[in-house]
Amino acid sequence: MEAALRPAGRDLRLDFFRGLGLLFIFIDHVPDNAFSYLTLANFVFCDAAEIFVFLSGYAAVLVFGRQIGAEGTFYASVQVLKRCWTLYVAHIFLFVVYTAQVSWTAQRFENPLFVEEMQVAAFLQEPHVAILQAMLLAHQPLFMNILPLYIVLLAGLAFAMPFLARFGTALLAVSAAAYLAVPFVDFNLPSYPEGTWFFNPFAWQFLFVLGAACGWRAGVQGKPIAIPGFAVWIAAAFLCVVVPVRAWISVGYFFDGVPPAFAELTYLFANKTELGPLRLLRFLALALVVVRIVPREAGWLNSAAARAITLCGQNSLPIFCIGIFLSVAGHSLLVEFGRDLATQAAVTGGGCLLLLGMARVLSWSKTRKRAGAARSGQDA
């Protein structure tokens, strides 16, 4: 078990925080859920999406970057593309689930009062276009906007593989330049039936690349970026200002006290689609402080509770998909059976327990498979 948890000295913090981010994604996606106020989004102006994208970049380079040295660039690129394919299939699966839900409702709920609302089923009238658009990742209904981003980012990584070792710094510079250019050129991928991607990949790639750069230094080159003490202090001071302000804004009643111009400014720079600079800075500050507060060998990371969350991070794709599925189911439960605090707690708690349980089963199955493979190897 221990060996499975810590493959080749893997940084457990990576999986723990990715797991935590996945739980937050589930909780935040259940509307009318008071517990979502307890997640990151309401305190720091950045949320689980940032954690997920940054740590995914980090983890991807950790796993696939090491393969460059061991097996060669081409092999590593192929592995990344295989991972893309898995994600793509997961996305199409979620689309099928969503389509089933919409068509079921459209069949049974014909109320002219909701003509406008039932436009949500408009895509069923042109399935030939809708399916094609879903396959092209342009159709991103409801919460189906994170996976397309992740797929595009990973595909980009596959093609960047040959340049990572020699031109890493140049890649980072190009990535930063693209991020900085986005607000000015207003460039984004189109989505179906109209509009653009919810997560602009040209902006969000920077966070993924930053994560990848950290992963490359720490995991592949084995010399993590040294963080000077003063940077951590600046980050901490920054958070000390940001957290109360964001919490203050979240508690709408006190909003009156925030000067409108100031509130407008913060929203302007905390734009989620383009990964507004405030979001980026806040995430980086949070990351710096957390990395300092939680050392790699922190004892509590091995506690039962932390390990359960870590397992979620180690099975991120299935846990993400099940989480999206559960948040839709959880919302249905709240819609059907009222939304008093007890029901909300039951739905949130129950969903989290299911995710943790599922992660445990998946890890158990992986360990068994490995043990089985080792045993049959010995037999032969």
Query: Which residue ranges make up the site for other proteins (CB under 8 A)?
Result: 31-32, 101-102, 105, 108-120, 122, 125-126, 140-143, 193-196, 198, 252-253, 255-256, 258, 260, 263-264, 267, 271-273, 328, 331-332, 335-336, 338
Question: Which position has the token pair 């342009």?
Answer: 138
Q: Helix 73-108 to helix 146-185 angle, to the nearest 10 degrees?
A: 100
Q: Cα separation of 355 and 326, whole Å?
A: 9
Peptide bond into 31 cis (omega under 30): no
Q: Do the beta carbons of residue 137 and residue 84 sit within 8 Å?
A: no
The one-letter amino acid code at 151 reads: I
Q: Cα separation of 293 and 306, whole Å?
A: 16
Tokens of 68: 């460059």
Find the largest Cα–Cα distance for the chain.
73
Q: Helix 229-250 to helix 277-293 angle, to the nearest 10 degrees?
A: 120
The one-letter amino acid code at 129 reads: V
Q: Do the beta carbons of residue 23 and residue 330 sit within 8 Å?
A: no
Q: Measured in Å, how far apart are the chain's first and last C-alpha atoms? A: 24
Q: Cα separation of 134 and 148, whole Å?
A: 10
